[in-house]
Amino acid sequence: MRKKSLIDTYLYNYSVGEKWRLTANDTDNISQVVVIPVYAEKELLFSTLASIAKNPPSSLEYSFVLCVVNNKEDSPSEDIENNLWTIECLDALTKRKSLKKFGDEHKIYSLLSDIAESKMKLGYINAASKGCEMPTRTGGVGLARKIGMDMALRLLENNSASSPVILCLDADTLVRDSYFSVIRKYFTPEVKTAIVAYEHQMPDIYEQQAAIVCYEIFLRYWTLGLRYAKSPWAFHSIGSTIAVSTEAYLEVRGMNRREAGEDFYFLNKLAKTGAINYVKETCVYPSARSSTRVPFGTGKSIQKFLSGIDKEEFYSLYDVRIFTILSNWLQLMNECMMADEDEILTKAGEIHAVLKNFLKVSDFAVIWSKMRRNSKDEKIRARQFSDWFDGFKTLKLINYFTTEIYPKIGMFEALDRILSMSEMQRPKHNSGTKIPALEDQIEILQYLRRLT
């Protein structure tokens, strides 16, 4: 762990405070904590915990599972009731009470029994019952993660753990039985942040399968495009895949409180402190369910796909030419780090006139002039540029080009082109059809999973 004064400073200035209390069975001798926000998840949470319980006892011994059961003061009554029932179950597990009262819920009772019989170190935070709710204005998944991750920081500090790690998971996300051991082994003192490989669960219903396959292809295409451009932001931004050292968590002043997109912004900050590593030796399996809880993300995308709204739009991706322009822009900056703003803008215009326009509306000249005044050192200036032209700015550039000149193109044409440009093998499918059969799409997705 970092020096105690740094942790104390964080807890005093940036932590959510101690309003929310921990109930736990055992917190001794732990070196990693997995934090799970829980909102009306009685149907799925215990499947997730049961999958964690299948990790070997030796891995469960040094790992702690922390559920943050949460709702706002004005959440629907049925969601609050769901949460209170979940808290009853978690309370029985953590205090090793009899599970007989849950016998009528046969599936959940079986899962609870499996969890109870494991050596899982389990705890929960009640941010759901009367007087403990999250604030109406600022509550959401970001705050729920922050509550749990701040508590994890305290627990790991109390254990004086070596290379301590905080993991993020979701209540609907299953894990492999190697989850804890692989991540523990991966986090040497040199590793600050990592994301874990993921594959969305495949539903039984055809339309739901089509929805999640389409969405996951989009996610993986985004990463392929950024990799082609040699962008430092070429990584997945999925909350249930994040693992972070306590050192890095302190550096970025903890998790943000956003109601949606908290994972993207958290990783965006972490990437400015060091590399985002990729753990491929284990995998997490997020749910493919439809949801309207947040304005974007997996659940919302699936919901929109299934509703039939703009379905053609779902089978389209960013024009590959934008990634070529992004690549040329990043290469230009690598070569012109000591140039002035006028020279850079002129050369940006030679790459593409729309790039120059984007830089102008982004106040690049003013910002670059300030960077030049602040630092004459090339490495420091490069770091400052990367901090400015971050993952969010990259997304804005790509969307700007999409709006101004290069609208999205067909999904499978885009995939073929980005793979060809990256000198990668292209998966076979019926190129005579705009949208291949679902079976072919699944094969394409499986191929992309191996690449990204």
Q: Summarize pLDDT for 365-401 with one digit per residue, the tens.
A: 999 999 999 988 999 999 999 999 999 999 999 999 9
Q: Summarize pLDDT for 243-282 with one digit per residue, the tens.
A: 999 999 999 999 999 988 999 999 999 999 999 999 999 9
Q: Is the pTM above the cut of 0.75? A: yes
Q: Residue 17's pLDDT is what?
A: 73
pLDDT tens series, the chain, 452 aa: 445 688 989 999 999 877 899 999 999 999 999 999 999 999 999 999 999 999 999 999 999 999 999 999 999 999 999 999 999 999 999 999 999 998 787 889 999 999 999 999 999 999 999 999 999 989 999 999 999 999 999 999 999 888 999 999 999 999 999 999 999 999 999 999 999 999 999 999 999 999 999 999 999 999 999 999 999 999 999 999 999 999 999 999 999 999 889 999 999 999 999 999 999 999 999 998 655 454 446 767 777 777 876 677 789 999 999 999 999 999 999 999 999 999 999 999 999 999 999 999 999 999 999 999 998 899 999 999 999 999 999 999 999 999 999 999 999 999 999 999 999 998 877 555 688 999 999 999 999 999 99
Fold of 4-313: Spore Coat Polysaccharide Biosynthesis Protein SpsA; Chain A (3.90.550)
Q: Residue 391's pLDDT is what?
A: 96
Q: Residue 295's pLDDT is what?
A: 43
HEC sequence for the chain: CCCHHHHHHHHHHCCCCCCCCEEECCCCCCCEEEEEEECCCCCCHHHHHHHHHCCCHHHHHCEEEEEEEECECCCCHHHHHHHHHHHHHHHHHHCCCCCHHHCCCHHHHHHHHHHHHCCCEEEEEEECCCCCCECCCCCCHHHHHHHHHHHHHHHHHHCCCCCCEEEECCCCCEECCCHHHHHHHHCCCCCCEEEEEECCCCCCCHHHHHHHHHHHHHHHHHHHHHHHCCCCCCCCCCHHHEEEEHHHHHHCCCCCCCCCCHHHHHHHHHCCCCCEEEEEEEEEECCCCCCCCCCCCHHHHHHHHHHCCCHHHHCEECCHHHHHHHHHHHHHHHHCCCCCHHHHHHHHHHHCHHHHHHHHHCCHHHHHHHHHHHCCCHHHHHHHHHHHCCHHHHHHHHHHHHHHCCCCEEHHHHHHHHHHHCCCCCCCCCCCCCCCCHHHHHHHHHHHHHHC
Q: Residue 431's pLDDT is what?
A: 58
User: What are the structural domain ranges in the chain?
Assistant: 4-313, 320-404
